[in-house]
């Protein structure tokens, strides 16, 4: 009956490219028609294997503005900019620079067209000095040798002029991240960049460094430079942008002056739908807490990757973890799966502390782990379907005896899994199957034995529509059987379609938690971007539904959350 979940008029998450929402409006936003665009990208398409990264995106950037390119992870922001910078070749589309069609086949072409890019992962050689990094490829020479003195003077001159303070003689590996970013900006400026693309520049910065970057951006703008600023953070967009273009599923979902929009409106455009489904999910038949995380902390270099995470998942419910990727989801997965030992805190499965138990011992009693659909960690591509299906159970009865696999039993298992989970594509090496079938096979392998604790991580990423539906249905079936499901996903639609409760993770911390119905997509978008929803009662209101209120607290748990937000 819980399966009716899906039939209640909720659309399944659309695959990339099929998103509803506002159509691209080329030529539409010209109410306050500024001068002719400096850069125009028209109908850009780019596909990587099964993934349509750009699906007809349009972008217009006007001279002398700070233009924010906003979108969720995977919306195609970086792809679009790498096309503009000549790192990727587009499949279709047109680029115009100052009104003229431009052919950009390499970064060299882009530089000649006045485009510079600061990449998310810095393009700097740690072992080189600042000056060497900046001038490589355009070295000042004297008698065939590099004129290092001239190079240092050049760097010093530009760093003075644009307020980008950095010592030309310092080795890059001795610099802070913020300083390295300045070196990257200098690199672009010295190459004569008029248009500067900054790819998620704040992702790696401390708040203070980010403020400093914004100051630099404004100064560059004052010097007449045009800046394209890629981000998924609403606050930053509102802080620096003159104009915003929102990308979703590879297309532009809207473009407007920053002064004429609100964070709420932008969040809506980013996520793609206006209304959060308020469909009454068939109440979960909640049982006892089967998976608990108590004060789990994982330390990383300099900062905590997970900070005092408290979560519990009961039998018969799906707890969704929402968050922009890289905010601790991977560590959470690893801690629960048993790949990583938390620095503090404990993980309990069915009440039992599983510290010291590796993945194999955690699986045995009935825990399943569905790793992300992409990158594919689940299947071993070179092994056959049969071999993959038995992985994880290959060491014992009934599939092996005395350390030797029993072919008939394994084949029987493979037959059962492939038919129940609709895995197509033959029995050869799994690498030859389509992404969707590979993932269905992994899901089948994990769910076939009716586990009661399920860790599902990005289970449908990079997987086609049919397979998504199948996988979702299986997860809901497991829930109906009383399994506890921890669903970690970057896909909001998926989370909203499946989860009974949601927790939002931001920078390793659970910043909000509650029944799914209490969140709107806007609120989630804001929370995921590290903002508190307006009204402010959201953050930390997350009542840790006290451990130990088994079953009884079905409706009582969590309503403290109820954000009066809108």
Partner 1 sequence: MSEALEAIFHVNTLTSTLRLATPIALAAMAGTLSERVGVINLALEAKLLAGAFAGAYASYVTGSAWLGVGAAVLAGVLIGALLGLFTLRWRANHVVAGIGLNILALGLTTWLLQVIWGSRGTSPVVPDLPGWSIPGLQAVPLLGPLLSGHSPLVYVMLLAGPLLWVWLFKTPGGLRARMIGEHPEAADTVGIPVRRTQFLLLLAAGALAALGGAQLSLGHLSWFSQNMSAGRGYMALAANVFGRWNPLGSMLAALLFAFTDALQMRVQTLPSPPPTELVQMLPYLLTILVVAGAFRKARPPAALGRHYEPGRSGTE
- The DSSP letter of residue 172 is G
Based on its alpha-carbon atoms, the radius of gyration of the chain, rounded to whole angstroms, reads: 26
CB atoms within 10 A of CB 434: 14
Q: Please report, as residue ranges, which positions from 190 to 219 form the binding site for partner 1 (by CB under 8 A).
A: 191
Q: Please report, as residue ranges, which positions from 80 to 99 form the binding site for partner 1 (by CB under 8 A).
A: 82, 85, 87-89
Residue of the chain from 146, 156, 400, 465 that contacts partner 1 (CB under 8 A): 146
How far, in Å, are 205, 211, 307, 423 from residue 202 at the CA level?
5, 9, 21, 42
Least CB distance to partner 1 at residue 89 (A): 7
Residue of the chain from 5, 58, 60, 119 that contacts partner 1 (CB under 8 A): 119
From the centroid of its chain, how far is CA 477? 27
Q: Which residues pair with 309 in a beta bridge?
A: 296
Residue of the chain from 91, 127, 211, 415 that contacts partner 1 (CB under 8 A): 127
Q: Of 230 and 336, which CB lies nearer to partner 1 in the complex structure?
A: 230
Total site size for partner 1, rule CB under 8 A: 38
What CA–CA distance (Å, rounded) separates 321 from 339? Answer: 19
Which range binds partner 1 by CB under 8 A, 36-44, 113-121, 158-166, 378-386? 113-121
Least CB distance to partner 1 at residue 333 (A): 18
Which range binds partner 1 by CB under 8 A, 125-133, 283-291, 363-371, 475-483? 125-133
Q: Of 51 and 483, which CB lies nearer to partner 1 in the complex structure?
A: 51
Q: Which residues pair with 455 in a beta bridge?
A: 369, 486
Q: What is the DSSP string of 376-413?
A: T-SS-TTSBHHHHHHTTSTTSTTTEETTEE-HHHHHHH
**Do 489 and 458 meet the contact criterion of CB atoms below 8 Å apart?**
yes
- Classify residue 375 as exposed, middle or buried by CB count within 10 Å of its CB (0-12, 13-18, 19+): exposed
Least CB distance to partner 1 at residue 342 (A): 28
Least CB distance to partner 1 at residue 525 (A): 18
| Binding of residue 144 to partner 1 (CB under 8 A) | yes
Give me 194's structure tokens. 């008029």
Q: Which residues of 376-409 are buried (b: 16+ CB within 10 A; e: fewer)?
A: bebbeeebbbbbbbbebbeeeeebbeeeeeeeee
Residue of the chain from 136, 150, 203, 465 that contacts partner 1 (CB under 8 A): 136
- Strand arrangement, sheet containing 226-231: 115-118, 195-199, 226-231, 66-71, 243-248, 251-257
What CA–CA distance (Å, rounded) separates 115 from 108? Answer: 9
Could you check whether the bond before residue 17 is cis, i.e. omega within 30 degrees of 0? no
Q: Which residues are within 8 A (CB) of 404 and not within 5 positions of it... i.e. 6 or more apart? A: none
Q: Of 125 and 552, which CB lies nearer to partner 1 in the complex structure?
A: 125
Least CB distance to partner 1 at residue 86 (A): 9
Q: Please report, as residue ranges, which positions from 15 to 54 form the binding site for partner 1 (by CB under 8 A).
A: 48, 53
Q: Please report, as residue ranges, which positions from 56 to 75 form the binding site for partner 1 (by CB under 8 A).
A: 73-74
| Binding of residue 103 to partner 1 (CB under 8 A) | no
> Pattern of binders to partner 1 over 154-193, x per CB under 8 A?
---------------------------------x---x--
- The DSSP letter of residue 491 is -
Q: Of 228 and 498, which CB lies nearer to partner 1 in the complex structure?
A: 228
Residue of the chain from 42, 123, 357, 400 that contacts partner 1 (CB under 8 A): 123
| Binding of residue 372 to partner 1 (CB under 8 A) | no
Residue ranges that bind partner 1, judged by CB under 8 A: 48, 53, 73-74, 76-79, 82, 85, 87-89, 106-108, 111, 117, 119, 121, 123-128, 132-133, 136-139, 141, 144-146, 187, 191
């Amino acid at each position: 009956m819980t399966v009716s979940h899906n039939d209640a008029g909720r659309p399944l998450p659309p695959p990339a490219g099929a998103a509803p929402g506002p159509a691209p409006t080329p030529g539409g936003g010209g109410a306050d028609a500024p001068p002719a665009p400096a850069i125009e990208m028209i109908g850009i398409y780019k596909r990587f294997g099964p993934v349509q990264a750009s699906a007809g995106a349009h972008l217009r950037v006007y001279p002398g503005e700070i233009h924010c390119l906003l979108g969720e992870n995977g919306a195609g922001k970086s792809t679009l900019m790498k096309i503009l910078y000549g790192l990727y070749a587009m499949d279709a589309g047109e680029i115009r620079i100052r009104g003229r069609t431009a052919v950009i086949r390499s970064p060299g072409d882009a530089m000649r067209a006045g485009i510079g890019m600061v990449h998310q992962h810095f393009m700097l050689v740690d072992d080189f000095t600042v000056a060497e990094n900046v001038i490589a490829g355009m070295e000042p020479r004297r008698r065939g040798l590099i004129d290092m003195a001239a190079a240092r003077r050049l760097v010093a001159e530009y760093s003075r002029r644009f307020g980008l303070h950095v010592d030309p003689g310092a080795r890059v590996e001795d610099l802070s991240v913020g300083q390295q970013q300045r070196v990257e900006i200098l690199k672009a400026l010295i190459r004569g960049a008029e248009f500067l693309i900054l790819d998620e520049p704040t992702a790696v910065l401390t708040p203070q460094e980010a403020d400093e970057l914004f100051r630099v951006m404004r100064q560059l703008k004052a010097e007449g430079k045009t800046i394209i600023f890629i981000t998924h953070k609403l606050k930053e967009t509102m802080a620096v942008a003159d104009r915003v273009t929102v990308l979703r599923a590879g297309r532009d979902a809207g473009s407007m002056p920053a002064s004429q929009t609100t964070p709420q409106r932008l969040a809506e455009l980013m996520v793609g739908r206006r209304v959060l489904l308020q469909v009454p999910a068939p109440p979960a038949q909640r049982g006892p807490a089967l998976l608990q995380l108590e004060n789990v902390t994982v330390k990383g270099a300099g900062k905590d990757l997970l900070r005092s995470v408290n979560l519990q998942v009961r039998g018969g419910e799906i707890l969704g973890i929402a968050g922009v990727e890289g905010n601790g989801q991977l560590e959470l997965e690893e801690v629960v799966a048993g790949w990583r030992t938390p620095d503090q805190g404990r993980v309990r499965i069915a009440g039992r502390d599983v510290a010291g138990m590796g993945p194999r011992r955690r699986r045995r009693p009935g825990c399943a782990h569905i790793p992300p659909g992409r990158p594919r960690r689940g299947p071993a591509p070179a092994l056959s379907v049969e071999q993959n299906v038995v992985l994880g159970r290959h060491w014992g009865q009934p599939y092996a005896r005395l350390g030797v696999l029993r072919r008939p039993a394994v084949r029987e298992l493979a037959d059962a899994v492939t038919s129940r989970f609709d895995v197509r594509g033959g029995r050869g090496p799994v690498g030859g199957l389509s992404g969707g079938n590979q993932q269905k096979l992994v899901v089948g392998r994990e769910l076939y034995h009716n586990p009661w604790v399920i860790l599902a991580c990005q289970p449908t990423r990079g997987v086609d529509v049919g397979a998504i539906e199948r996988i979702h249905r299986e997860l809901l079936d497991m829930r109906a059987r009383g399994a506890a499901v921890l669903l970690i996903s970057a896909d909001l639609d998926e989370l909203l379609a499946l989860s009974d409760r949601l927790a939002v993770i931001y920078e390793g911390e659970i910043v909000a938690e509650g029944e799914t119905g209490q969140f709107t997509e806007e609120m989630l978008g804001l929370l995921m971007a590290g903002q508190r929803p307006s009204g402010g009662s959201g953050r930390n209101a997350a009542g840790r539904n006290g451990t130990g209120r088994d079953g009884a607290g079905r409706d009582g748990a969590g309503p403290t959350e109820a954000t009066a937000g809108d």
